[in-house]
Homo-oligomer: A and B are copies of this chain.
Amino acid sequence: MAAQKTKVTIFDVAKASGVSSSAVSYALNGKPGVSEATRAKVLQVARELGWKPNGAAQSLAQSKTRRIGLILGYDPQLLAVEPYMMSLISGLGAELEEKDYSLLVRMSMDSDDEDSIIEDWIATSNVDAMLLLNLEIGDPRIEMMKENPQMPVLAVADASLTAGLPTLASDDAAAVGLAVRHLYDLGHRSIARVAGPEELGHSYIRDAAFSEVTAELGVRYRCLHTDYTPAAGADATKRLLSVNPSPTAIIYDNDVMALAGEGIAAMNGVRVPEDLSIMSWDDSFMCEAAHPGITALNRDIVESGRIAASLMLKLIDGEEVGVVEEPPYVLRVRESTGPAPQR
């Protein structure tokens, strides 16, 4: 009953229970082909010997790894400061754990790296399915995956980017509507946005939606692109506040930048929300901890991770998966947004 030092195989179990290895295999896998008596006996002996299936042997025999592949882009600062990836991993991990799957993680330094990891996984069968994140417009990885339909893949991206691949889609456009409408209702007619890097697919989607929605409502709109760092957020804020008339509200693409912007406003004697309203895209403890608390677009990323995991398991089982919507964004109104100042 104690942990065994030496590997114990089904042959050991077979010998100890006086049956053949195939009988053991059937018994342990709950398959028909053995009497209840032997099954019970085998299970008993297996437990006593502390038998567990060898992962590699199992994988080889059934061409299944029980692993899901996830590639992280190497940007420690961004990964650390954006709650997104860790939240997603939490959801993925929690769901996979229930189904006895693991997450296989690799890190890519650039997009070529990522391509070769994908090729590697396809060729070596080291994962049963993989997740595709951070798609860009016309991303070449889409083609790669379409050429290798034997490898299930789930894209997490706006459906317009995934060319028919199984997709967990977020409705960023709807979120843009929520945010702009909130400010519009408060009387704001000149809104600025401090966005992330222009080349990211989701930046593009949001850009388009912002332009459209503000145009519809007759709201002045201006957008500055940054690298997501607080320094860049602070700098963009300074620039926006220096023009005349300056916007009455700023929406930041992440919470560190919103926090940095709030700081710049305070330093310049600009009161939040009396003189300037501030919003953040993607909510976290940071928005709650800030003072004043930052109104933010909140979404359940952990739940997205769970859904993504379950969709990949479906794909592995050969089920069809089309475009599934993520849990929607919800507006968390805090103290950083208020009525537009009269000018």
Interface, chain A (partner B; CB < 8 A): 2-3, 5, 7, 50-57, 59-60, 63, 65, 67, 72, 74-77, 79-81, 83, 85-87, 89-91, 93-94, 96-97, 102-109, 113, 119-120, 122-126, 144, 147-148, 150, 229-231, 233-234, 256-257, 259-260, 262-264, 266-267, 284-286, 288-292, 301-302
Contacts and interface: CB of A to CB of B under 8 A. Distances in A.
Given A56-B65, A86-B79, A93-B74, A106 B103 contact: yes
18 contacts: A3-B119, A5-B148, A51-B123, A52-B124, A76-B90, A80-B90, A81-B285, A81-B286, A94-B107, A94-B109, A96-B107, A97-B108, A97-B113, A102-B104, A102-B126, A256-B286, A263-B290, A264-B291
Stoichiometry, as copies per complex, reads: 2
A86 to B, nearest CB: 5
A263 B291 contact: yes
A9 to B, nearest CB: 11
Contacts of A81: 83, 284-286
A89 B288 CA distance: 26
A293 to B, nearest CB: 8
Contacts of A148: 3, 5
A60 B50 contact: no
Given A97-B106, A104-B103, A267 B285 contact: no
A285 B229 contact: yes
Which of A50, A120, A123, A231 gathers the greatest number of chain B CB atoms within 10 Å?
A123
Contact of A89 (B72, B83, B125): B72
A124 B289 contact: no
B57 A72 contact: no
A126 B230 contact: no
Contact of A94 (B60, B74, B86): B74
